[in-house]
Copies of this chain bind each other. A is one copy, B any other.
Amino acid sequence: MNVHIGVNGLAVNPETPRGRAPSIRDVARLAEVSHQTVSRVLNDHPSIRPETKERVLLAMETLQYRPNRAARALVTSRSHTIGVLAARSSEYGPATSIAAIEDAAREHGYYVNTANLADVTPEGITDALEHLMLQAIEGLVVIAPQVRVFDVLAAAPIGVPFVSLQSTGRSDHLALSVDQVTGARRATQHLVSLGHREIVHLAGPQDWIEAEARMRGFLDAIDDADLSLHPPILGDWSADFGYFAGRELSRARDFTAVFAANDQMAIGLMHAFRDAGLDVPGDISVVGFDDIPVAQHVWPPLTTVHQDFREVGRRAVALLLNQVHGREVLEVEEIVPRLVVRGSSAEASGRRPRYASVTDSA
């Protein structure tokens, strides 16, 4: 109700004409210099007498001057904004990375504008992209890890450098590759080393880059160990899907371990197994991926592959801004996620695993 707080914020300053916000000319007048000198102070120009600078800064202070971003953007044609193209951004992983991107960008004096992919149709993607381009973004971070997105991106000339948080294997852009393949392989090898020979993979949706990488890691490990291959199940990342998949799986029971492509599905799986009277890890071992914060607190504590989402976001910004500024792009070292063994995986014999408590993260 009572929301109008003056027209213009701080508004009523006697020095400032009308209801307008103070401009550099107003500051200049007060400091008795030219507007250009004020501009120089703003931009840290070297040849300004300290005394003059002082006077200008004082004038800015008394006038409560704020530089006008639009005017600056207009003349420099730099928006100081980067775009983020994201999918499913309410989930822990992406959300964490996005937050880290925003923090890192702010630290570098940049703004972030996020467009969430409502649907992954070409129209939806073009639409989101259009929105970002209208914002005149200087760079783009892509966290929408469907292959399809990159097809659209490749087709639409976006004209700004972009970085993806998923390695597509393409060379038309920079990717901040977390080595998901190795992560998935290690997870699978862990199960193999526990004596499991019939392992099922509950994968992410087809077309998702991460799902594909984790699947490949799984297949590699199965191949290395010379095991027979169960056809992977394609899920949608959700715990609910994990539950339903687990219900189906517990009918057949021709396996002793499941590697789920993310923790949510793994948790849903365990729920279903419990419902079916199967003990995890006594009857069936389960391994997840991501290490979301609750993973170590569910029962049994989930063996999973830990990813540092914040670090990924940070690096993405660093990489992107390097490109934006035309600096040399340093070699991108891959981040290898690490396996965290907890209670949901045990030897195929059915013996109890060593108990991993909450302190394993310390």
Which of A's residues lie within 8 Å of B, judged by CB?
1-6, 8-11, 21, 66-71, 73-74, 77, 79, 89-92, 95-96, 98-99, 102-103, 106, 111-116, 118, 128, 131, 133-136, 157-162, 171-174, 238-240, 242-244, 264, 267-268, 270-271, 274-275, 293-294, 296-299, 301, 309, 323, 329, 357-358, 361
**A323 contacts which chain B residues (CB < 8 A)?**
3
**A294 contacts which chain B residues (CB < 8 A)?**
239, 264, 267-268, 294, 298
Known interface pairs A159-B8, A274-B299, A294-B264; A116-B136 also in contact (CB < 8 Å): no
Q: Of B11, B96, B106, which one neighbours A131 at CB under 8 angstroms?
A: B106
A356 to chain B, nearest CB (A): 11
**A275 contacts which chain B residues (CB < 8 A)?**
357
- Taken together as a complex, chains A and B put the C-alpha atoms of A4 and B157 apart, in Å, by 11
Contact B293 A158 (CB under 8 A): no
15 residue pairs A–B, Cβ–Cβ below 8 Å: A4-B161, A5-B158, A10-B157, A66-B133, A68-B136, A69-B70, A73-B73, A92-B92, A102-B115, A102-B116, A239-B293, A239-B297, A240-B361, A244-B358, A298-B298
- Taken together as a complex, chains A and B put the C-alpha atoms of A158 and B133 apart, in Å, by 28
Q: Of B95, B268, B358, which one neighbours A89 at CB under 8 angstroms?
A: B95
A99 to chain B, nearest CB (A): 5
A80 to chain B, nearest CB (A): 9
Nearest B residue to A310 by beta-carbon distance? B90
Q: How many copies does the complex hold?
A: 2
A171 to chain B, nearest CB (A): 6
Contact A243 B89 (CB under 8 A): no
A202 to chain B, nearest CB (A): 14
Contact A297 B242 (CB under 8 A): yes
- Taken together as a complex, chains A and B put the C-alpha atoms of A99 and B240 apart, in Å, by 21
A324 to chain B, nearest CB (A): 10
- Taken together as a complex, chains A and B put the C-alpha atoms of A132 and B264 apart, in Å, by 34
Q: Of B6, B111, B172, B267, which one neighbours A159 at CB under 8 angstroms?
A: B6
List the 9 closest A-B pairs by CB distance, nearest first: A9-B159, A70-B73, A95-B95, A90-B96, A271-B297, A70-B74, A239-B297, A90-B95, A89-B99
**A172 contacts which chain B residues (CB < 8 A)?**
2
